[in-house]
Structure 1
Amino acid sequence: MKSGFLLSLLLLASLKLTAQSDSITYQPNKINQFKLVPLPAIGSNPANGWLFGLAPSATWYMGDPQTTKMSNFVGNFLYTTKQQWIFSSRSNIFLNENKTILIGDWRYFITSQPTYGLGSSTPNEPMENPNQPGVWWGEQQMDFRLIRFYEAILKRIGDSKLYLGAGYHLDVHSKIKNFQDEEITDHLEFAHDRYNSDMGFDTEKYTLSGISLNMVMENRDNSVSPYEKNFAWVQYKINPSFLGSDQSSSLLLLDYRHYINLSEKRKRNLVALWGFGNFLVSGKVPYMNLPGMGWDMFGRSGRAYAQGRFRGESMVYTEAEWRFPLQQNKETFGGTVFVNAASFGSKTTQEKLFEKFNPGYGLGLRVMINKQNRTTISADYGFGQKGNSGFYLNVNESF
């Protein structure tokens, strides 16, 4: 979840709010070296107002640390001054000797956020869509509830870095309400409602339920804050109506990350590269299930833009980030400089993928609160086009 947190509380919470086991020796059939960071959270953003709650993270080993990668969990338990509740749990769990990976993404939102229509050319200010007469283009407010349950299990192929597996994915959007500011009096149809009506979906509630086929190459030295090597994920999601989807459809996700170390002595000095694609392959999906900015698993894409700022039937995203230490002999503080760009295609607005890109750039501060596991608090400020910008605070690196 992207949100602007108060940096002072961030630094305060980083002062050893860590619960860990008394021993760092391997104990068979037990969770080893469990470390919890119960980070208190307070902040604000235009969509939510002020937020209060907890943003805990945890790392541990499900086997011998010499032969098993570190598992991790990131959560959000927040309440806002706009009477919104935001609960989420995202996890990557490596079982003993990395023979099995469990990937989880569970969420329950009672929330709101603006939507702007489909494609890469949507403006900030609301106006009539020139490609869709009678339909709003630009900022349109939405209230909704979301129940999400994603869980995938993957088995390693022999002694390789390759994993194959399957997953189940459920999204239920309900109590959807579109509205504009009171000052706007034009009687135009909301982009969300027009799209859903044209595609045969309800405008107030819809369900996407399906299974996925997954292939993962896990070659990173550390999944929380990698210093080197790479990661790849290919997921083909099938959403048949007999599993509860309002209409049958399929989507393809492609995710690749590469980490180039710039110094053998200071491995924290590196360049990180990320390429991400999400495509509607067949059928139709409801508006909020279309590929969107900031709706990747950990909500890290598109720093400089709000979650959901761009959306379409197809999405391509790329990012490059230089990560570096700020201390000569210590690893506590680090910095980052990043650039990114995204393109969205939409048949609805006749906009082709790669026809337009929306770039972003920015810089950030890193505070490593556990050097052994590389648990890191990240604070970034991003700048985009047309006055878009934002402050983002997260646990661990962005990707």
Structure 2
Amino acid sequence: MKKHLLFFLLCLWIHPLLAQQDTTATKPEEDSDKLIREFSFVPLPVLAANPAVGFMFGVAPSASWMMGPNETTSRSFFVSTVLYTTKKQFMLLMKSNVFLKDDSWNLMGDWRFFAFSQPTYGLGTGDQSSKLVSTGFEYDDGSYSDGIEVAQLMEFNYFRFHETALKRIGDTRFFAGVGYHLDIHYKIEDQLLDLDTVPPAITSHYAYSIDNGFDPEQYVLSGVSFNVLLDSRDNPINPYDGRYAFLSFRVNPEFIGSDKSSTMLWAEYRDYFSLDKDRPRHLLALWAFGNTVVSGEVPYMDLPAIGWDQFGRSGRAYAQGRFRGQDMVYGELEYRFPLQKNKDTWGAVVFANATTATNRDANINLFENIDPAAGIGLRVMIDKKARTNITIDYGWGKYGAQGFYLNVNEAF
């Protein structure tokens, strides 16, 4: 299985590089029948750190291109990474947002393979999460384990294949379509799980998995989604104007591979407010989303969590997966501004975000507890036509959380 997954992702990795051989930047009036134009490729080396992975190094190539006339077609892009970290983690990712000619279709992809380790902190937000207490576990004989009061390290392999195709409706900026989503976690090891001690050391992941009928060593979530999208952004890589609203209802039935049937809902909104008509880079950007399990049971690692959105940008300051729950609401506000008077090469941002998540078993509800974070960042525009930025951010949160982030393209 592992060999098949690696070959599958390697093909995806090679494809855009092969496409580059036949694509060169052209003027809009030239080569009107050319499939791909204005191809820009950035082979960015990575040497960075964040709370989930420690120090990481590798490459993060990204590209942008046009698949139709500039006047009627949005810019397509992909970002990818091949990384190894000081915590002995390996990550191979490919994330894309493609607009066909005249924006007739919008194709969104998220493919990943991780050989990973990551702590989990139980479900919910609030002061109880700072104690890192698991939900505990009740045995058949009525005895009870209070759980573990430390961060609970997990090792696992993870394969994700998400593809969504959205058809433009008429001349509007409204799209509708379907997607397929496959999430496989396997070789899961709870490093602090010990059933032989007295009392047993029960982790949050193990307790949740057993209580909800999942194998704690592996599980599969396979489903189809029904989606609607409103996208009026002037540039999906680095918007100066417009808004984005996305609604996705995902159905995960057992008959297409899920261990247990469930449904989930994702609702997302982004908006961009200009603060200077002469300097469009001077703006406020807003991002909010809600993610909830509507029915059935979802495996622990597939529950809504920060840092697991398509581009992994939510929750700056906190480790990926630091907050998780059956329901989650996230909001972020970012102030973006240029650092040069008449040029756009250098810029900066100030951001603040907040997360609330539930633990239904412990009666922790949405908005009962809110965990905030804030930070600053530097921007270097390396492709003015595509508005591609290298982004360098540092964030601070509660419970001593902080992190440094190096990426390509804006967080949202």
Between the aligned partners of 1:118 and 1:21, the Cα distance in structure 2 is: 49
* Residue in 2 that maps onto 1:113: 118
Between the aligned partners of 1:391 and 1:75, the Cα distance in structure 2 is: 19
Greater shift after overlay, 61-70 or 86-95? 61-70
Measure how far apart 1:21 and its partner are.
2.1
Write out per-residue CA displacement over residues 56-88 of structure 1, whole angstroms, 9 at most, x where no aligned residue. Answer: 110001111221100010101112243321000
Return the letter of the residue paired with 1:123: S
CA contact (8 A) 1:128 1:188 kept: no
* Residue in 2 that maps onto 1:173: 185
> 1:281 and 1:44, CA in 2 relative to 1: closer, same or farther beyond 3 A?
same
Between the aligned partners of 2:330 and 2:251, the Cα distance in structure 1 is: 22
Between the aligned partners of 1:270 and 1:46, the Cα distance in structure 2 is: 29
Greater shift after overlay, 40-49 or 95-104? 40-49
* Residue in 1 that maps onto 2:151: 139
Across the two proteins, how many residue pairs are aligned to each other?
A: 381
Asked if residue 79 in structure 1 is aligned to residue 92 in structure 2, the reply is no
Percent identical across equivalent pairs?
A: 48
Between the aligned partners of 2:82 and 2:184, the Cα distance in structure 1 is: 19
**Which residue among 92, 95, 101 is the counterpart of 2:100?**
95
Return the letter of the residue paired with 1:258: D
Between the aligned partners of 2:233 and 2:330, the Cα distance in structure 1 is: 21
Matches within 5 A, 1:17-166: 21-25=24-28, 26-27=30-31, 28-45=33-50, 47-121=52-126, 122-124=128-130, 126-127=132-133, 133-166=145-178
Structure-2-length-normalised TM-score: 0.88
CA contact (8 A) 1:269 1:323 kept: yes
Asked if residue 332 in structure 1 is aligned to residue 335 in structure 2, the reply is no
Asked if residue 236 in structure 1 is aligned to residue 241 in structure 2, the reply is no
Matches within 5 A, 1:359-374: 359-374=372-387
> 1:126 and 1:279, CA in 2 relative to 1: closer, same or farther beyond 3 A?
closer
Greater shift after overlay, 329-338 or 37-46? 37-46
Between the aligned partners of 1:201 and 1:354, the Cα distance in structure 2 is: 28
> 1:127 and 1:277, CA in 2 relative to 1: closer, same or farther beyond 3 A?
closer
Return the letter of the residue paired with 2:186: S
For structure 2, the residue ranges without an aligned partner over 5 or more in a row are: 1-19, 138-143
Say which SS state the counterpart of residue 348 (structure 1) adopts. Answer: helix
Structure-1-length-normalised TM-score: 0.91
Say which SS state the counterpart of residue 165 (structure 2) adopts. Answer: strand
Write out per-residue CA displacement over residues 126-181 of structure 1, whole angstroms, 9 at most, x where no aligned residue. Answer: 55658984222441101001100000101011000100000000000000011149
* Residue in 2 that maps onto 1:279: 292
CA contact (8 A) 2:25 2:37 kept: no
Return the letter of the residue paired with 1:328: K
Measure how far apart 1:29 and its partner are.
3.8
Return the letter of the residue paired with 2:363: Q
